[in-house]
Amino acid sequence: MHMDKKSYGKYVTARAPRSPIATNCLWAFLVGGGICLFAEGLNQLFERVFGLNQQDTGTATAIILVLIAVVLTALGLFDRIAKRAGGGTLVPITGFANAVASPAIDARAEGFVLGVGAKIFTVAGPVLLYGTAAGTLYGIIYWICTLFAA
């Protein structure tokens, strides 16, 4: 059976299962919002109950969220949640923790150096590299602009 690209595209579109976009968006919104609501609850707890200042509150909340995301990843639950919630689990800190932990957990059988150490940043490495490079470039541009503004 030979088809041109246009005919094949129509064939695939006609037989592909329909994606429930509204339901997927709702799940992403609810899970992402739930993660953010949980984080805000932690912020309030650390500030009001433990009396931490704003910077320490943010740090403690970030540490707890990363810890929870890594534990859920290690238990295989993060992927199950992400299947249902989609982009809702990509709230920056939990999604990043999952992106760092997943390759490391998958490679643990290869040992700590050649497995975990070599694979831990395979997904997150480019984000770190280009994020650092962009931040450095922005800092240089900002510094140059302040030289002329003074």
pLDDT digits (tens, 9 = 90+) for 117-128: 777 777 777 777
pTM: 0.69
- Which residues lie closer than 8 Å to 43 by C-beta, 6 or more apart? 57, 58, 61
Q: What's the mean pLDDT when you consider all of the chain?
A: 88
How does residue 71 score in pLDDT terms, banded at 50, 70 and 90? very high
Q: Which of 37, 58, 38, 34 is nearest to 46 (CA)?
A: 58
Average pLDDT over residues 6-20: 86
| Cα 33 to the center of its chain, rounded Å | 14
What are the residue ranges spanned by the domains of the chain? 21-120
Q: What is the pLDDT of residue 150?
A: 64
Q: What is the pLDDT of residue 94?
A: 86
Start-to-end Cα distance in the chain: 71
Helix, strand, coil percentages (3-state) for the chain, rounded to 5, are 85, 0, 15
